[in-house]
Amino acid sequence: MIKKLKAPVLFISAAMLSSTPIMAYEAGDILMRTGTASVNPEKSSNDIDQVAGQAVKANDNTQLGISGTYMLTNQIGIEVLGATPFSHNITAKDGTLGAPGADIGEVKHLPPTISAQYYFLDNTSAIQPYVGGGLNITVFFDEKAGKDAKALGYDKLSLDESYGLAVQAGVDYNINENMFVNASAMYAKIGTTATLEGSSGKLTVDYDLDPMVYRVNFGYKF
């Protein structure tokens, strides 16, 4: 058994000794990351303005996320983050507008974010942890009132767009000169006012979704 292992071990040892370190990131590189992006908003809004003690909530949603980073220096980059539209169901909390879990509506949104990133290690390290911060813009669209809201005379739902800060932390692991894998977490300050309107009048509620966004990605360096 030892004789059988001797040749492969010698070959692997020679390959390791003769291999050059993987060069990570340098000024001018473009890093593309794509994979899953999971948005996990806060589970409760403020009280509905006209219904004290009652609130709504939104569910989590996972979509395809994509981002591109341009390296200004070996350790500083600018990232633009996008995704396919996220979709959230808005439901009653604690018996709002009927029973708990009543269907209040559905909404889609896009949360483009631009951030500056700082990579801690030099470009000879295969592992590249980083932090970042920037601006999130969330645009809501395709808002639809739910069946339970409609049954109570509210047939129109609208949400205001949001501007807020975003902070992130992540790590890349370079597989070779061009390919890497990535995991990251981002906190985005997203606040909106949701409005239900119809024959029964108008209801408004402030909702600080302030989600955590978790990503797992495959990356490629150009």
Spatial distance between the Cα atoms of 19 and 21, rounded to a whole number of angstroms: 7
Residue 50: the pLDDT is: 65
The residues, ordered by sequence, that sit 6+ positions from 208 with a Cβ below 8 Å of its Cβ are: 42, 45, 46, 189, 190, 191
Note the Cα 211 to chain centre separation in Å: 8
Residue 92: the pLDDT is: 84
Give me the helices (H) in the chain, please: 2-18, 147-151
166-170: long-range contacts, CB 8 A cutoff, minimum separation 24? 166/113, 166/115, 166/133, 166/134, 166/135, 166/136, 167/131, 167/132, 167/133, 168/115, 168/117, 168/131, 168/132, 168/133, 169/129, 169/130, 169/131, 169/132, 170/129, 170/130, 170/132, 170/215
Q: In what order do the strands lie in the sheet with 201-208?
A: 156-159, 191-198, 201-208
pLDDT tens, position by position, for the chain (222 residues)? Answer: 444 444 444 433 443 444 445 667 999 999 999 999 999 999 888 877 766 667 888 999 999 999 999 999 999 999 999 999 999 999 887 665 666 778 989 999 999 999 999 999 988 889 999 999 999 999 999 999 999 889 889 999 999 999 999 999 999 999 999 999 999 999 999 999 999 999 888 988 899 999 999 999 999 999
Residue 43: the pLDDT is: 85
Spatial distance between the Cα atoms of 193 and 187, rounded to a whole number of angstroms: 20
Spatial distance between the Cα atoms of 40 and 44, rounded to a whole number of angstroms: 12
Note the Cα 166 to chain centre separation in Å: 10
Contact call for residues 85 and 110 (beta carbons, < 8 A):
yes
The residue count for the chain: 222
Name the nearest CA neighbour of 213 among 57, 60, 59, 109. Answer: 60
In the three-class reduction of DSSP (H, G, I as helix; E, B as strand; rest coil), residue 108 is classed as strand
Report which secondary-structure segment, H or E, holds 169: strand 162-174
Residue 124: the pLDDT is: 86
Residue 13: the pLDDT is: 43
The domains found in the chain, sorted by start residue, are 21-221 (2.40.160.20)
Indicate the pTM of the whole model. Answer: 0.83
Residue 21: the pLDDT is: 57
